[in-house]
Amino acid sequence: MAARSTFLRANRRRTSLRAAAARCLCVLAVSLGVGPALLANAAVVPAELVARAGDIPLGATVPLATTLPPFTLPDGTAAFTGTLADGDVYVFIDDQVVWLSSNEMMSMLTGTEASMGATTTGGFIYGPSVDGVEAVWTHNGLLAMGGTQAPVYPAGVVTTFHSRPTMVPTGTAYWVAGLDLTGGGTTQERVLYRSPTASPADVQVVLATGDMVGGLVIDSPTGIDLSYQISDDETHHVAVLLMDTGSAINDGHVFLDGALLHQENTPNGTGDNWDNFDLVAVNNAGSYVFSGDTTGVVATDEFIARNGVIVIREGDVLDGVTLTTTAVVRFLSVAESGRVAHAWSHANGAIESLFYACDPTDLGGSSLAILSTGIDELDLDGDGVGDALVTDLNASGNTHGDVLTNDGSIYLEVDIDDMSGAGPLAAMVRIPVSCCGNGILDDGEECDDGNGDDTDACPTTCTVAECGDAFVLAGIEECDDGNMSNLDACLVGCVAAMCGDGFLWAGVEFCDDGNGDDTDGCPSNCMAASCGDGFVWAGVEECDDGNTEPTDACLPGCIAATCGDGFVWAGTEECDDANEDDTDECPGNCLMATCGDGFVWTGMEECDDGNTDDGDGCTRTCTMEAPTSDSSGGSTGSNDTGSESTGTPGTSTSTSSGGLDESGGSTGLLPPMSDGTTSTGSTAGPSETEPGPFPGLDDDGGCACRSGRRAPGSGVLGLLVASLGLGASRRRRRR
């Protein structure tokens, strides 16, 4: 079994639920003689839905009801006709309806023949009934109509029908008409007409009954067969003609460019004779194909011939598909490259199969099975899964209704069933085809290594591998996404995107400045610099430890921790109340307030002199203590109660200068006197019987002694000295 093309093979998968219907038809086909190879190759075929019954196309306001066979155009698009749900006839070109029969207000246009022609500039021709009579209509309006004077012919000759309209890319129209030479309604002759402007003013006769060709006369009344084709450049004309040979056994001929090339009941070079001729096609190069029957056995009599040589016969196996009797050619189409698209019904009509022949010199051996009805499904959305089962190829047998484009597409009028319950629907689909992978360097191919490997120098597109072709060339490219964007995962140059390459990878990177500097606005992780990313942004952040922990050396906000910032720095600070108050529980050194720290804790300590010594005015528990002194230096005079006595000052030996003796008097060295001398001695204590204006002071401000006598050196000055001495003992040192 010949291998199917790489293009198709890469897209073929076993179908799922919808395959059930296909399998039922396959069982029927097997019972009719279809080989198991066809079933084994059930495929999902990539296709594009151009139009479908039930859909409303561009240019229309109601849904399509029918589609008719396609007519391909030089730009790779197609045209066709059909009817809308309201009965209106439409002309569809490329991707939209360009004309509706309801646009014509002067005549009633109904129905349409399957054949039509069009141009890429909007020209068209088709065959409706005009006021109930067969006619041909173009973008210019009515071209010809049955029952009216036949163009070019003498007065009184009328046309009886108009059929098989077509058009070449220049807009020149062709069609076949019947003639009644007596003005009646009976077809006595036929004529092939041509109109360069697709209008009645310049209609010409190409061939007609009675013309002499190759020494024979075109027979009447049907000598001009309906099977013909004009090449796009109008340099070639192929047709089936019935010549007046005197016998119906050998009157059929294949006509090409003014010559009769093949005649019925003559040898065909394969051991039997030509029997009859059916379909014909020709390209600008003059390469022609035709189909028909031979006089051989029924099981092998149907054939396709190229340039007069039979290349495919009924009973042959094409890419695993056996053309089981009865097999009939449904259509033929030849591209400018010489490649041929052909379709057959086989297994007594149970199955129809489409083929694409890549090698013009070996149509049989290079024919690839594209799809078979009832077996293969179409993938209409590109996901690789079948969306609709093809139930019928609605081929009409019109050879000039080309289905094959020069850029490798086949347009098909089909019935498809998407298993939605709506049943089979008429549709127009485009199927891309390719000969790439057959190992032969065909026209339009740069290479063909015959394998399905997309990672070597010749991928399955049969173009030389290069960066940007969407295939990763092994050992050469890191990636290949088929585009020229530096914003995705694969850069121009087929290098994988990475942080630091200087290109912003959309959706993945927030920045990429192409350097490894972690201290700028875009660190080496290609995330925009921010507090908490672990990188210290120079000039913006003091620190960045990558966390939001407020108890370490770097605070939230990327500020360096300090005493007084309100956050307790673990292991370094005991407290941090964010103020500079040294009198609360957390002084300015961020150590918990304690006795002996040199700071008086308000409400908790009376004093704090920064040490743990007792006897210095502030005890080790931070409470005030009374000053200490000895008992010498007191008055030596008489101490009679209630009487004044003058004593002699003694010499103080107190350990606390300026302190008080046991009687409450001051002792020790007194401040200098006003005359520059100093006085030593003691002062009497306060009088218990004669208090002064202040407790413990006499009227002159001195110390009131118990004896009631005022001692020398007493008074306000003594009290001041005593007060200064006490203050000095309570002052503490700040750290």
Close Cβ partners of 87 (under 8 Å, ≥ 6 residues apart): 65, 110
Identify the weakest region by mean pLDDT among 391-395, 618-622, 692-696.
692-696
What residues does each domain of the chain span? 656-735
Structure tokens at 99: 């004309």
The average pLDDT across 421-432 equals 93
Identity of residue 434: S
Rounded Cα gap, residues 450 and 3, in angstroms: 10
CB 329 within 8 A of CB 335: no
- Say if strands 44-46 and 377-379 run parallel, antiparallel, or are unpaired: parallel
Looking at residue 41, what is its pLDDT? 60
The DSSP code for 309 is E
Rounded to 5 degrees, what angle do the CA atoms 154, 156, 159 make?
90
Predicted confidence at residue 634, as pLDDT, reads 43
3-state secondary structure string, 678-734? CCEEECCCCCCCCCCCCCCECCCCCECCCCCCCCCCCCHHHHHHHHHHHHHHHCCCC
CB neighbourhood size of 468 (10 A):
15
- At 561, which amino acid appears? A
pLDDT tens, residue by residue, 13-60: 333 334 444 444 444 444 444 544 455 568 999 999 999 999 999 999
Percent share of the chain, pLDDT over 90: 72
pLDDT of residue 435: 83
In this predicted model, which residue has the larger pLDDT, 406 or 494? 494
Mean pLDDT of the chain: 83
Record the tokens describing residue 694, joined without a space.
Answer: 């202040």
Q: Is 282 helix (H, G, I), strand (E, B) or coil?
A: strand
Could you give the C-alpha distances from 362 to 299, 307, 318, 358, 411, in angstroms and in order?
Answer: 22, 12, 12, 8, 23
Closest CA to 370 of 19, 29, 23, 45: 45
Query: Locate tokens 């029952």: which residue?
Result: 147
Q: Output helix, strand, coil percentages for the chain, rounded to the nearest 5.
A: 5, 30, 65
Please spell the DSSP secondary structure of 56-72, one letter per residue: --TT-SS-B------EE
Centre a 10 Å sphere on the Cβ of residue 187 and count the other Cβ atoms it contains. Answer: 17
Which three-class secondary structure state does DSSP give residue 428? strand
pLDDT of residue 31: 47
Q: Could you tell me which residues are beta bridge partners of residue 257?
A: none
Q: Is the peptide bond before 221 cis (omega within 30 degrees of 0)?
A: yes
**407-433 average pLDDT score:** 92
Per-residue pLDDT of 570-588, as tens digits, reads 999 999 999 989 999 999 8
Structure tokens at 149: 């004077």
H helical segments located in 63-216: none
Summarize pLDDT for 447-498 with one digit per residue, the tens: 999 898 999 999 988 999 999 999 999 999 999 999 999 999 999 999 999 9
Residues 6+ apart with CB under 8 A from 474: 455, 456
Q: What is the DSSP letter of 23?
A: H
Count of residues in the chain: 735
CB 321, CB 29: distance < 8 Å: no
Cα separation, 586 vs 581, whole angstroms: 8
Determine the pLDDT at residue 284. 97
> What's the DSSP call for residue 634?
-
A 10 A CB-CB count for 530 gives 15
At which residue do the structure tokens 């089979």 appear? 424
Over residues 114-143, the pLDDT tens digits come to 999 999 999 999 999 999 999 999 999 999
Distance CA 207, CA 194 (A): 10
**pLDDT number for residue 499:** 93
Give the whole-angstrom CA distance, residue 646 versus residue 465.
131
User: Residue 300's pLDDT is what?
Assistant: 97
319: left (phi over 0), alpha (psi -120 to 50) or beta: left
Task: Tell me how far apart the alpha carbons of residues 412 and 331 are, in angstroms, rounded to a whole number.
Answer: 11
